[in-house]
Structure 1
Amino acid sequence: MDKWFEDFFAEKTDLPSAEMVASTIWLIWKLRNDHVFRSKPPKVVSIADLAHAQVRAFTRWVPSKEQKRTNSRLSPESWRSSDSNGFKLNIDCSWVKGEEKNSVAEVVRDSRGLLIDGFAIEIQAETILCAKALALSHSLRFLTHRTTTHVGTI
């Protein structure tokens, strides 16, 4: 999939860069979450400008592929799949100081990396530590309803 995406953008010179598309999609997702979880209406006009600014900042501060290759030995961590009969769980929470509504999201992937389940909920938390604890608590409750018998950590 990544190779196809890269080749597609390399062939189509009149399209925005893949980074610009990804940044725009990410901003749309964030604005959607702000609307759903915080009742903040989206500011559609600013999406393109924000995406462009993010891409400029990204290309300025994130090393290129050549630089990453030379530093690859420094970072041995990489994504690992779960056991063939297990699941991999990714938990995240969104917390903003002073906001009443915050959110927790989780995705579950199988050993092939395919999305098989997940959830997103609204929470109330006074601190980021409370939000993370609630995220873990909701995820553990979610796991108790799964059919798998083994829960491991990575």
Structure 2
Amino acid sequence: MPETVEHLFFFCTWTSKIWTHPHIRVQILPTSVQRFDAWVAARATDSKESHEFEVIANLLWQIWRQRNNFIFRNHSPDPIQAVEDALAQSRIDKVVDPTPHSFPISSLSPDQRWKPPDKGSLKCNIDGAFQSEGLQGSMACICRNYKGILTDVFTQSFSAQSAFQAELYARNSRFNIDPA
């Protein structure tokens, strides 16, 4: 299976164990997820799932963290730890703010919604990060086409002295990406 964002978060061998964990039990079928962002938006805007969405959001964050720890630090992903960390964060979130939240897309202004690029173009989001221990920076770039489909991903580690330097490095990087 190709390394798509959907594969990364849902169908990879170790991430599928997260969704079938006895405390999670979210059924995700390859036929039910065409685009990651549409799947997430549907859960975020469904008032019946608002309490579950906070757990889902924390799970997605833990998957992302563990994937990056694997790529940049060679730490093997641990699905059980990801579930435990996500559930713990969700419990903390409920103590801090016990009000369930839903995120109706209609409340977002058009300026706040993601807009696809023109046909034949790509929209790329780039970010830099900094780890003060070891003075290490990293960057990631994701590109989507006019249909919103992920077309390319790029990550890189580098030496950095500050978060500002890491952000500048990411911003000034050049990529050879084919929009076709």
Give how far 1:89 is off: 0.4
Specify the code of the residue in structure 1 equivalent to 2:161: E
Task: Report the more deviating stretch, 53-62 or 112-121.
Answer: 53-62
Q: Give the equivalent residue in structure 1 for 2:30.
A: none
Q: Give the equivalent residue in structure 2 for 1:23.
A: 58
Give how far 1:78 is off: 1.8
Q: Give the equivalent residue in structure 1 for 2:137.
A: 102
Whole-angstrom distance in 2 between the partners of 1:122 and 1:69: 35
Larger radius of gyration: 1
Q: Give the equivalent residue in structure 2 for 1:152.
A: none
Give how far 1:109 is off: 0.6
Query: Superposition RMSD on alpha carbons, in Å?
Result: 3.9
- Unaligned runs of 5+ residues in structure 2 are 1-37
- In the superposition, the TM-score normalised over structure 2's length comes to 0.57
Contact between 1:93 and 1:105, CA under 8 Å: does it hold in 2?
Answer: yes
Contact between 1:37 and 1:101, CA under 8 Å: does it hold in 2?
Answer: no
Specify the code of the residue in structure 1 equivalent to 2:123: K
**Counterparts in 2 of 1:63 and 1:81: CA distance versus 1, 3 Å:** farther
- In the superposition, the TM-score normalised over structure 1's length comes to 0.65
Whole-angstrom distance in 1 between the partners of 2:55 and 2:65: 15
**Counterparts in 2 of 1:131 and 1:108: CA distance versus 1, 3 Å:** same
Whole-angstrom distance in 1 between the partners of 2:159 and 2:71: 15
- Unaligned runs of 5+ residues in structure 1 are 149-154
Runs ≥4 residues deviating over 4 A: 3-6, 39-45, 68-73
* Residues 1:2 and 2:39 are matched in the alignment: yes
Identity of aligned residues (%): 24
Deviation per residue, 1:5-39 (Å, 9 max, x gap):
64xx999x9xx934424422431331231233134
